[in-house]
């Protein structure tokens, strides 16, 4: 009876247990959760209790589970799958234990020590790799030699090897004596991720033309301004520099499209669009990558500011699982290069006598009137033999699964090659990201900078005009020499000033403090949906101080008293953005991303300046403006601003890694434009087809990659003055009845004023051959309409012109870039090159107008806007050569009756026997038609070699004229001289107190003894700019030759140093140009060209 009862009771209990297990349904949807967390949730939501032995089951093992309406057995089968565990149900109790196979294995197999080495695919050891036994917390990291040792590892365990930037690898440990593990890079080839504006995208998914320059390329350049490092490294991107300390390069993306609205690209730093394009405040060592958005498909995301391209700058952040202290430092010596060989005193006297004999019939100097015996080399007196530059950066970064951080500080200092010129800056950066929870991440980017720049106004250019060898730099008593103070001076040099004195007696210092940063919060609303909001600020305060002492030419001209002033500028830009991003992947085939953005940006600028004269004390200078004479004080102030409100959307879809489509639209509203046109819409569409993923090409051993791209879009340009659309009153005086009366002048407003619109078509092709060569080709047509220009209107309106939208400019071009890893063994060698051709032309003006005169110069230079010619076209006379025969002279005297043998002739195109602006010809544009760059990198064992150069061909330049003075774009164009022509305009017009000749010109001047001379004779009159002096320029510069050595393997026993590299970098050590100005790029002579020998060290602790 008792036995029957017991059996019956067990049956009831078992039946009840089975009934509960069958009737209880569980819903579990957890990602990357531990087994313990899942079991605890089950216990919370049900009556189950779990029992298990920690030595048999790893409760910290991570599991993904997604079950609905499941029984406990279905849940346990999913959780314990593949773990050699079994379970039993006893009522609501669940007992989990090792199965028989696991128990036998535990009894028979003893833990062992696993050891080995981790290297890259090329055989280089990788220190810092994390090695963990799968499913446990047991682990270690590799040492400097890539070696590791891990104790108590049971055979049959799986070791996981992981390292940031590498593909993680799982290796089964079966008791091997030594493990050789190779890790491959994670972001290689088509899987590389690039910034695209408001997000990132796999490089393989791009439909637009984007060039990426990475941090290692920036580091190789050893520059203070990151834009300098882009020169020659990106197709379609032209960078012009002037070599002066602290100067900002000029950058053009696919040519110039505007006359008056600016041609600079938009710069965006960590998502913040800059109003001030000066990047000197950014430390290049802080930059992770720079992306240049060149076509409309990529730049339309920035709408009304994307017409001239966009440069995205992404700064570095900390790496998860690593704490690093890095120090990068270099020291360099600059020496002047391309100095001009000038005449010594004897040659100069001979030249002057010849000029005066020709012009006035008698020489200046003779035995009875000898020249002063100074023989001054002014170029040597003002240009330093060498100057120092150095840069030091320290970075502390790291992170874990919740927080990553980066703190960096940098100091850069460059002494100029000219007296009291130089540049120094101090930077501090703090990038921080913290994940509070699975749904909230916050962070910030902050950059603080302080910069001081000392500049000089063309002291070297003045050497060629005022630095004559017959004039000393100083008097015998040590004071500066000025000819107008010398009672024994020659009337010939009357009025000359002293460029060496003014280089040292004039101060022009500019100081700037800047804060650039933002804070953000990102909310994960769903695993596929994120919302991000951020607030940013870009604020700079600048001070300018200018002072010319009582010993300067300006001071002496002001009665021996100082002249100077101060200026203060405050620029503030506030940014508020909200962004919603959805991304999803279905069946590993469909990849979709959509982003919507609301943006508000406010810009405000305040300026105040004051100047004065009559300062008695040079020690206090112009710091105390109360010391200036009352009548000498001048002051001005201004304040202006603008606002931009934007709505943006972008969607991209990729099917099966083969077919891509990206659509973008941005709706911008700007306060700068007329009441009737404040809003504009800027759309774009991009398509891509990876042909090599098709079945007929996927295994082709030769054509390893083939992708076709096409894009179309419209972008805008809003870079005009803030109140250009409004009528304005300006105070002015006028004369009425012989009395000066106060009054106002008025300019007419235009309520219909709108953006310049650029429509761009891009066709691209990416080709990979044998997995060795990567070739990128793009053809583009960039058309800019509605150019902002002051159009003449009938005088009966009471006004002369109105700012309106007119005309059209086209840039058509091709870009080609090639990269190849030729060798990839112990000896590694790669080569890269790019070349760009761009044709710029005006295709329409307004009405029937085909040519507009912007301005002319008495030097024979003019600026026109003309259909069929470049927007920055240079116009000069056309040279017909030197008058060598009497027949030529008789014929040319019909044009200029005072002409003589040895002078230059110019072509009379109009046939009216005179030379006017109608006879000028277009000799080209300062923007090259062709520009290119190349690089080659090699490494063998611990040695590395990097060589990089760039150049340009087919462009024009004229001496010292800035064509912005004639309403053109701000592009400095330098001193002209091509082979067998002048150093600069007027270098032999000594009678007009213009430039003295160089040795090169002097040796080639026409004379009776040198009738084949290619330069006009000494003292020739009416010498002007011409195609012979200014056209068909080209140059090539070997920018860097960098040799490095890695000492890391030699100090592997020094456990507090992770990495040690040293290098020497030779900058600008070779250049070739078909002109003789200082700067090989544009012939500029305002600052000496420099070559640098730089020694550097990079240490990681």
Residue-wise DSSP of 435-494: EEETTEEEEEEEEEEEEEEE--SSHHHHHHHH--TTS-SB-TTSSBP-GGG-TT--GGGT
CB 981 within 8 A of CB 988: no
Provide CB contacts within 8 A for 240, sequence distance 6+: 249, 250, 251, 252, 971, 972, 1081, 1082
- Listed residue (75, 49, 47, 54) closest to 63, CA to CA: 75
H or E stretch covering 521: strand 506-526
Instruction: State the DSSP string of 300-332.
Output: GGGGGG-TT-EEEEEE----TT-EEEEEEEEEE
Q: What angle do CA 924, 928, 932 make, to 5 degrees?
A: 155
> Phi and psi dihedrals of 50, rounded to 5?
-105, 135
Locate 90 and state its tokens: 């006893």
How deeply is 564 buried, as exposed, middle or buried, from its count of CB atoms within 10 A (0-12, 13-18, 19+)?
buried
Q: Give the up-direction half-sphere exposure of residue 949: CA atoms within 13 A in the CB hemisphere.
A: 15
Question: How far apart, in whole angstroms, are the C-alpha atoms of residue 907 and residue 807?
Answer: 31
Residue 12: per-residue pLDDT: 38
3-class SS letters over 709-759: EEEEEEEEECCCCCCCCCCEEEEEEEEECCEEEEEEEEECCCCCCCCEEEE
Q: What angle do CA 428, 430, 434 make, to 5 degrees?
A: 175
CB 1056 within 8 A of CB 1101: yes
Number of CB atoms found within 10 A of residue 84's CB:
16
What residue ranges of the chain have pLDDT lower than 70? 1-23, 55, 91, 100-109, 122, 164-165, 185-191, 321, 457-462, 464-466, 487-496, 728-747, 797-798, 958-995, 1029
Report all structural domains of the chain as residue ranges with CATH numbers, in order of start: 14-104 (3.55.50.60), 109-183 (2.60.40.1120)
β-bridge pairing 634-655 and 590-615: antiparallel
- Listed residue (1022, 1075, 1031) closest to 904, CA to CA: 1022
How deeply is 999 buried, as exposed, middle or buried, from its count of CB atoms within 10 A (0-12, 13-18, 19+)?
middle
Question: How far apart, in whole angstroms, are the C-alpha atoms of residue 873 and residue 957?
Answer: 10
Question: How far apart, in whole angstroms, are the C-alpha atoms of residue 498 and residue 482?
Answer: 6
Locate 487 and state its tokens: 């009672």
DSSP 410: E
Packing angle between helix 35-45 and helix 72-79, nearest 10 degrees?
A: 170
Residue 7: per-residue pLDDT: 33
β-bridge pairing 921-924 and 801-824: unpaired
Residue 170: per-residue pLDDT: 84
Provide CB contacts within 8 A for 674, sequence distance 6+: 725, 749, 750, 751, 752, 753, 754
Locate 380 and state its tokens: 């040597």
> Phi and psi dihedrals of 156, rounded to 5?
100, -10
> Phi and psi dihedrals of 496, rounded to 5?
-75, 145
Tokens 């159009």 — which residue? 791
Residue 210: per-residue pLDDT: 93
Return the SS3 of 918: helix
How deeply is 57 buried, as exposed, middle or buried, from its count of CB atoms within 10 A (0-12, 13-18, 19+)?
buried
How deeply is 407 buried, as exposed, middle or buried, from its count of CB atoms within 10 A (0-12, 13-18, 19+)?
middle
> Phi and psi dihedrals of 590, rounded to 5?
-100, 125
- Listed residue (6, 41, 7, 11) closest to 26, CA to CA: 41
- For 527-561, list the strands marked E by DSSP: 529-548
Q: What angle do CA 212, 213, 214 make, to 5 degrees?
A: 115
Locate 733 and state its tokens: 């005086």
Return the SS3 of 501: helix
Return the SS3 of 1015: strand
Count the residues in the chain.
1101
Return the SS3 of 786: strand
Residue 18: per-residue pLDDT: 52
Provide CB contacts within 8 A for 849, sequence distance 6+: none
Residue 739: per-residue pLDDT: 57
Provide CB contacts within 8 A for 901, sequence distance 6+: 883, 884, 886, 889, 1006, 1017
How deeply is 1003 buried, as exposed, middle or buried, from its count of CB atoms within 10 A (0-12, 13-18, 19+)?
middle
Residue 187: per-residue pLDDT: 44
Question: How far apart, in whole angstroms, are the C-alpha atoms of residue 262 and residue 264?
Answer: 6
Tokens 């503030």 — which residue? 572
For 594-634, what is each residue's pLDDT tens digit? 999 999 999 999 999 999 999 999 999 999 998 999 888 99
pTM beyond 0.75: yes
Torsion of the alpha carbons at 91, 95, 99 and 102, rounded to the nearest 10: 180
β-bridge pairing 93-98 and 49-52: parallel
How deeply is 434 buried, as exposed, middle or buried, from its count of CB atoms within 10 A (0-12, 13-18, 19+)?
middle
> Phi and psi dihedrals of 477, rounded to 5?
-85, 5
Residue 965: per-residue pLDDT: 35
Residue 733: per-residue pLDDT: 55
- Listed residue (458, 436, 434, 454) closest to 444, CA to CA: 434
Residue 887's beta-bridge partner residues?
Answer: none
Residue 645's beta-bridge partner residues?
Answer: 600, 669
Return the SS3 of 848: coil
CB 259 within 8 A of CB 522: no
CB 881 within 8 A of CB 891: no
Alpha-carbon distance values, 733 to 2, 248, 728, 744 (Å): 126, 39, 16, 7
Locate 774 and state its tokens: 């990567």
Question: How far apart, in whole angstroms, are the C-alpha atoms of residue 1101 and residue 328?
Answer: 11
Number of CB atoms found within 10 A of residue 466's CB:
23
For 844-853, what is each residue's pLDDT tens digit? 998 889 998 8
- Listed residue (793, 641, 805) closest to 723, CA to CA: 641
């Amino acid at each position: 009876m008792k036995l029957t009862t017991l059996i019956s009771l067990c049956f009831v209990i078992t039946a009840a247990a089975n009934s509960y297990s069958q009737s209880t349904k569980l819903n579990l949807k957890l990602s990357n959760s531990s087994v313990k967390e899942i079991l605890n949730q089950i216990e919370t939501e049900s009556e189950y209790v779990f029992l298990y032995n920690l030595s048999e089951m790893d409760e910290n093992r991570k599991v993904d589970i997604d079950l609905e309406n499941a029984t406990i057995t279905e849940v346990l089968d999913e959780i314990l799958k593949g773990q050699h565990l079994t379970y039993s149900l006893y009522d609501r109790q669940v007992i989990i234990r090792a199965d028989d196979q696991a128990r036998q294995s535990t009894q028979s197999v003893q833990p062992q020590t696993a050891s080995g080495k981790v290297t890259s695919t090329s055989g280089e050891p990788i220190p810092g790799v994390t090695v963990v036994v799968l499913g446990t917390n047991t682990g270690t990291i590799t040492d400097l030699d890539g070696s590791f040792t891990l104790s108590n590892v049971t055979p049959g365990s799986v070791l996981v090897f992981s390292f940031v930037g590498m593909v993680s690898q799982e290796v089964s440990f079966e008791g091997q004596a030594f493990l050789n593990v190779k890790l491959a890079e994670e972001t290689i080839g088509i899987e590389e991720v690039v910034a695209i504006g408001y997000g990132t995208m796999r490089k393989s998914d791009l439909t637009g033309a984007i060039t990426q320059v990475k941090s290692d390329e920036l580091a190789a350049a050893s520059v203070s301004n990151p834009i300098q490092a882009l020169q020659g490294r990106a197709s379609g991107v032209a960078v012009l520099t002037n070599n002066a300390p602290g100067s900002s390069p000029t950058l053009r993306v696919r040519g110039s499209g505007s006359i008056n609205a600016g041609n600079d690209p938009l710069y965006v730093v960590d998502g913040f669009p800059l109003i001030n394009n000066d990047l000197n405040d950014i430390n290049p060592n802080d930059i992770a990558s720079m992306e240049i958005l060149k076509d409309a498909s990529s730049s339309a995301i920035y709408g009304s500011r994307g017409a001239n391209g966009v440069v995205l700058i992404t700064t570095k952040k900390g790496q998860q699982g690593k704490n690093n202290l890095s120090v990068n430092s270099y020291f360099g010596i600059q020496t002047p290069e391309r100095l001009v060989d000038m005449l010594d005193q004897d040659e100069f006297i001979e030249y002057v006598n010849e000029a005066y004999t020709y012009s006035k019939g008698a020489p200046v100097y003779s035995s009875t009137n000898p020249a002063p015996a100074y023989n001054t080399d002014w170029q040597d007196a003002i240009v330093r033999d060498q100057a120092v530059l150095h840069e030091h950066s320290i970075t502390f970064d790291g992170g874990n699964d919740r927080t990553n951080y980066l703190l960096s500080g940098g100091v850069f200092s460059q002494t100029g090659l000219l007296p009291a010129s130089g540049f120094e800056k101090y930077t501090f950066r703090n990038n921080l990201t913290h994940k509070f929870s699975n749904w909230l991440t916050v962070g910030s980017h902050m950059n603080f900078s302080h910069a001081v720049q000392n500049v000089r106004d063309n002291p070297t250019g003045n050497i060629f005009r005022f630095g004559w060898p017959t004039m000393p730099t100083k008097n015998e008593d040590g004071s500066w020499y000025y000819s107008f103070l010398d009672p024994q001076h020659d009337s010939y040099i009357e009025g000359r000033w002293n460029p060496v004195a003014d280089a040292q007696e004039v101060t022009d210092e500019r100081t700037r403090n800047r804060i650039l940063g933002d804070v953000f919060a990102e909310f994960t609303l769903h695993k596929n949906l994120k919302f991000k909001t951020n607030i940013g600020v870009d604020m700079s305060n600048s001070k300018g101080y200018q002072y010319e002492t009582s010993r300067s030419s300006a001071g002496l001209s002001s009665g021996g008293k100082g002249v100077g002033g101060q200026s203060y500028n405050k620029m503030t830009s506030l940014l508020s953005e909200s962004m919603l991003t959805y991304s999803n992947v279905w069946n590993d085939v469909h990849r979709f991303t959509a982003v919507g953005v609301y943006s508000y940006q406010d810009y405000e600028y305040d300026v105040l300046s004051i100047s004065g004269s009559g300062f008695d004390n040079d020690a206090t200078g112009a710091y105390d403006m109360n010391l200036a004479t009352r009548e000498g004080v001048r002051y001005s102030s201004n304040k202006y601003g603008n606002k931009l409100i934007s709505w943006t959307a972008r969607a991209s879809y990729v099917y099966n890694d083969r077919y891509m489509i990206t659509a973008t639209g941005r709706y911008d509203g700007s306060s700068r434009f007329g009441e009737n046109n404040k809003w504009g819409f800027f759309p774009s569409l991009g398509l891509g087809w990876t042909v090599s993923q098709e079945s007929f090409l996927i295994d082709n051993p030769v054509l390893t990659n083939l992708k076709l791209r096409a894009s179309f879009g419209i972008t805008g340009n809003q870079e005009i003055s803030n109140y250009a659309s409004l009528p304005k009153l300006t105070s002015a005086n006028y004369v009425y009845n012989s009395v000066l009366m106060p009054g106002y002048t008025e300019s007419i407003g235009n309520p219909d004023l709108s953006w310049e619109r650029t429509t761009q078509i891009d066709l691209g092709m990416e080709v990979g051959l044998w997995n060795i060569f990567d070739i990128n080709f793009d053809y583009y047509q960039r058309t800019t309409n509605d150019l902002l220009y002051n159009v003449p209107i009938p005088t009966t309106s009471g006004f002369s012109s109105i700012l309106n939208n007119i005309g059209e400019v086209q840039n058509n071009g091709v870009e080609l870039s090639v990269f190849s890893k030729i060798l990839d063994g112990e000896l590694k060698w790669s080569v890269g090159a790019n070349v760009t051709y761009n044709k710029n032309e005006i295709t329409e003006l307004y009405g029937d107008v085909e040519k507009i005169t912007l301005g002319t110069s008495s030097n024979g230079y003019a600026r026109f806007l003309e259909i069929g010619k470049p927007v920055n076209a240079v116009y000069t006379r056309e040279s017909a050569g030197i008058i060598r025969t009497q027949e030529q002279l008789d014929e040319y005297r019909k044009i200029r009756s005072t002409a003589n043998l040895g002078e230059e002739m110019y072509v009379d195109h109009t046939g009216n026997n005179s030379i006017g602006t109608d006879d000028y010809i277009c000799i080209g544009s300062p923007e090259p038609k062709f520009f290119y760059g190349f690089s080659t990198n090699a490494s063998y064992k611990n040695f590395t070699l990097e060589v990089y150069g760039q150049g340009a061909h087919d462009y024009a330049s004229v001496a010292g004229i800035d064509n912005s003075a004639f309403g053109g774009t701000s592009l400095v164009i330098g001193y002209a001289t091509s082979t067998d022509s002048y150093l600069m305009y007027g270098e032999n017009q000594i009678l007009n107190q213009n430039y003295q000749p160089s040795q090169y010109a002097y040796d080639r001047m026409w004379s009776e003894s040198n009738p084949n001379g290619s330069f006009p004779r000494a003292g020739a009159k009416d010498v002007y700019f011409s195609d012979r002096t200014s056209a068909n320029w080209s140059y090539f510069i070997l920018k860097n030759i960098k040799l490095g050595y890695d000492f890391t393997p030699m100090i592997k026993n020094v456990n507090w140093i992770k990495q040690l590299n040293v290098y020497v970098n030779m900058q600008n050590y070779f250049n070739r140009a078909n002109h003789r100005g200082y700067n090989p790029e544009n012939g500029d002579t305002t600052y000496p060209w420099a070559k640098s020998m730089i020694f550097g060290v990079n240490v990681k602790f």
